[in-house]
Amino acid sequence: MSTLVTGIAELVTNDPSRGPGPLGPVADAAVVVADGAVAWTGPRRRAPAADASIDVGGRAVVPGFVDSHTHLVFAGDRAAEFEARVSGARYDGGGIAATVAATRAASDDTLRGRLRGLVAEMRRQGTTTAEVKSGYGLTVEDEARCLRLAGEVTAETTFLGAHVVPAEYAGRREDYVALVTGPMLAACAPFARWIDVFCEPASPHAFDGDAARVVLEAGLTRGLQPRVHANQLSAGPGVRLAVELGAASVDHCTHLTDADVDALADGSTVATLLPGAEFSTRSPYPDARRLLSAGVPVALATDCNPGTSFTSSMPFCIALAVREMGMTPAEALWAATAGGAAALRRPDVGHLGPGARADLAVLDAPSHRYLAYRPGVPLARALATDDSGPST
Ligand code: NIG
Ligand code: FE
C-alpha cells in the first residue's frame, strides 16, 4: 500500500541531498510513503503514482518531532510548587519526592491512562518519537512497573532509578546506589534500553560524579546505554563524565565551563537542551549558540515532567530556543528532529530521506519558520498516512 502526499508548500527533509542546507527543503513538494517508510520525495510535478493520495492543502511538512527526553510515567501534579517558584522559590529537586509518593500509590491503570493521554497530546502537536524515563518509583517493583508501562508506548525506555535518593534512604546514599546498581537494575534491565542518572552535586537530593559513574558503568555491564542529566543547576562533573563514557546524550547543559564545551566538541555525545525546564524553574537558559559555534550537535526536547517542565509541546520548545537561546528557526527545527534522533541513535527517524520511517508532521502554515514566529498556536500535528496508528 503506497500513499502520495501532495499540496506541500515546503517539505523539510533533513536530507541535504534534497535541498540547500541541513534541512534539505523542497518547495511545492510531494512525498510517497509505502509500508510505513518514505519511498520518494521531490517536486510535485515529478511525483510517481501511488495507491492513495492525501492533499495537505498548501501547508509545510516536516519530520515528526523526536522528543528524546521525557518523564511521562507519574501520578499527581506539582502546580503548587510551580506557583511557589513564581513567587521566588528555587528548584533543587526536592519536589520529586511528592511525585514519587503519588506514583507509588497509583494503580497501573491510573499510570497507564496518564501516560497514554500525554503520548496522544504529543502526537496532536507533531511528536512521533518519544523517549520515556522511569524515576518516580524508586523501589525495585515500582521502577520495573514504570518501565514496563513505558515500554507499552515506546521502544526508547530509560531506567532512572538514580533520579534522587528516596526518603526511606535519607542519609544512606551509598546503600541506595547499591540498590539501584544491584536488584533494581536487575529487575529493570529487561524493560530498558537506556540508563540515566541525575548528576548534580549542587542538589542535596541527586548524585555526585562518583556515584553517577558507578550507576552508569553498572548499566553498561547490563547492556544499557548511558545518557545523563547534568549541569542543570550548576557546573559539575556530569558533562565530562557523559562524554568519557560515550553517552548518546547529556541533557540540560545549562551551566557549562569551557572544558565542558571542549569535551563535547571533541566527543560524540549530543547536548540535549530542555528550555521548558528553564521556563518553569525561572532559570537562565542554556547558551545554544556557544555549543553550535563549537560544533557540538544539539538536540531539543521537552523534559515533560510534573516538576520542572510540564509541557509536551516541541513547538513551544522550538519557540523558546529561538527567542531565548540564540538558535535560528532552522537550527531549532533540526535540533527537535534530527538532533533528537541523534540523541537516541535512531537513524530511521528525524528525517524524511528514503527509507526513513513515514513520520510526517504537517504544519498549519506555509513554512517551518512559523513554529517560532507563531508561538503558542497549535500549528503542528502528526500526519497519519496509513492505518498503523501511533508509533512512538
Ligand atoms: O529533568 N532534574 C531532574 N529531573 C527532572 C525533574 C524532575 C522533577 O522535578 O520531578 C528534570 O528536570
Ligand atoms: Fe529530565
User: Which domains can be identified in the chain, with CATH numbers?
Assistant: 2-64+350-383 (2.30.40.10), 65-343 (3.20.20.140)
Distance CA 370, CA 365 (A): 6
Single pTM value for the model: 0.97
For 15, the grid coordinates are 536530507
Distance CA 233, CA 199 (A): 10
Distance CA 218, CA 215 (A): 5
Q: What is the pLDDT of residue 29?
A: 98
CA of 353 to the centre of ligand 1 (A): 34
For 13, the grid coordinates are 527533509
Taking 70 as the pLDDT cut, the residues of the chain under it are 386-392
Atom of ligand 1 nearest to the CA of 251: 1
Nearest ligand to the C-alpha of residue 93? 1
- Nearest 5°: the CA angle 378, 360, 309 is 45
Distance CA 117, CA 345 (A): 26
Nearest ligand to the C-alpha of residue 249? 2
Kindly tell me the sign of the dihedral angle through the C-alpha atoms of 123, 125, 130, 135.
negative
- Decide: 368 and 12 in contact? Cβ < 8 Å: yes
Distance CA 253, CA 229 (A): 8
Residue type, 375: P
**What residues have their beta carbon closer than 5 A to ion ligand 2?**
303
Nearest ligand to the C-alpha of residue 227? 2
Q: What is the pLDDT of residue 385?
A: 83
Distance CA 253, CA 334 (A): 18
* Residues in the annotated binding site for Fe(3+): 69, 71, 229, 303
CA of 255 to the centre of ligand 2 (A): 15
Q: What is the pLDDT of residue 386?
A: 66
Q: What is the pLDDT of residue 390?
A: 41
For 367, the grid coordinates are 513554512
CA of 62 to the centre of ligand 1 (A): 29
Q: Which residues line ligand 1 (CB under 6 A)?
A: 71, 93, 95-96, 99, 198, 229, 232, 277, 303, 305-308
SS3 183: helix
CA-to-CA dists, residue 338 to 81, 221, 352, angstroms: 34, 29, 10
Distance CA 132, CA 73 (A): 8
- Could you give the residue ranges of the DSSP H alpha helices within 124-237? 140-150, 173-179, 185-188, 209-221
Q: At what angle do helices 140-150 and 108-123 cross, to 10 degrees?
A: 40
CA of 77 to the centre of ligand 1 (A): 13
Provide the ipTM: 0.98
First to last CA, the chain: 21
